[in-house]
Amino acid sequence: MAFNLSTFRTRALTAVVFVVVMLVGLLWNQWSFLLLFSIIHFGCWIEYQKLVALIDPAYSETSGLHKILVVLAGYGLMLWFTNEAYVVLGVRLHELGWWMLMICAIVLPVSEVLLSQNFSLRSLMYSLAGLVYISLSWGLMIALRNGGAFLDLGWIVPCVLIAAIWINDTMAYIVGSFIGKTPLSPISPKKTWEGTIGGALLCIAAVTLVGYYGFGLHAYADLIAISAIAAVVGTIGDLLQSKLKRLAGVKDSGNIMPGHGGFLDRFDSLLLATPFVWVYIRFITDYLS
């Protein structure tokens, strides 16, 4: 894979704007964090439903009510992971999310059976898969932000994870561009073993060293674990999204950013890595402590 300076410049410039938006959302406060991932949640769902409709035309015949209800159910699931600090007009978003999820879970199958002329169990399974793939992942991201499991600063975990994924992607691209020769997978021909391994090693080293010496995060074992999960599972998430796009016959899931594609293109690695980091933080660190 030859190094393309023009492509790299476009990706770099648009990434700068993207990073600024992400940092404001991540670091400002809990509400900016929730707003950021609420936008990402809905953006991912819109693209996911378009991809599935291209993969299986039967899904394109699914009613608009079905598609709206499943997205609202997903958002309810995401809100369910908020804590007592999220209150609007006296209403706890945790409780609101629970009721949204329950109402949609009841109305959705009833409306499909009674009102839809194109009921398909397969389409329902696609929607359930989206709830796990998208909504559960972003719900667990909210849980990571609010958990305070890592140095009593919950926002550090999402920031470390996101930084690790960005570093891994960038390093894998650069290393693969210069020395990559062995294709990693036919799903994504441009990825190479050299780039993947080099990117992962540089990601783990950079996150651990910068976190430890630059930001005083002395839990170096956690830094290594989170960056390793980001590199390995994040790459698998990237390949999964590439497979979906290949089945749908499209290059990008969307076009929100020049050189970066859509929401799913940008967050495919994070979608899959987040649940694994949550499991590590929630269970493994508690067990070891």
pLDDT for residue 19: 81
For 147-185, the pLDDT digits (tens) are: 644 444 568 899 999 999 999 999 999 999 899 889 888
Tokens at residue 180, please? 């990559």
- The Cα–Cα gap between 172 and 50 comes to 29
Tokens at residue 191, please? 């990825």
pLDDT at 3 over 60: no
The total number of structural domains in the chain stands at 1
- The Cα–Cα gap between 143 and 167 comes to 23
- Residue 70 banded pLDDT, cuts 50, 70, 90: very high
pLDDT for residue 256: 76
pLDDT for residue 150: 43
Phi, psi of 188 (to 5 degrees): -135, 85
pLDDT at 130 over 50: yes
**What is the domain range of residue 136?**
5-288
pLDDT for residue 215: 87
| Residue 85 DSSP class | T
Tokens at residue 248, please? 């749908």
pLDDT for residue 258: 61
pLDDT for residue 58: 84
pLDDT for residue 172: 93
For residues 97 and 62, the model is more confident at: 97
pLDDT for residue 186: 86
Mean pLDDT estimate for the chain: 87
* DSSP H helices in 210-260: 220-248
Q: How far apart are the first and last CA of the chain?
A: 44
Non-local (6+) Cβ contacts of 13 within 8 A are none
* CB-CB contact of 104 with 69 (8 Å): yes
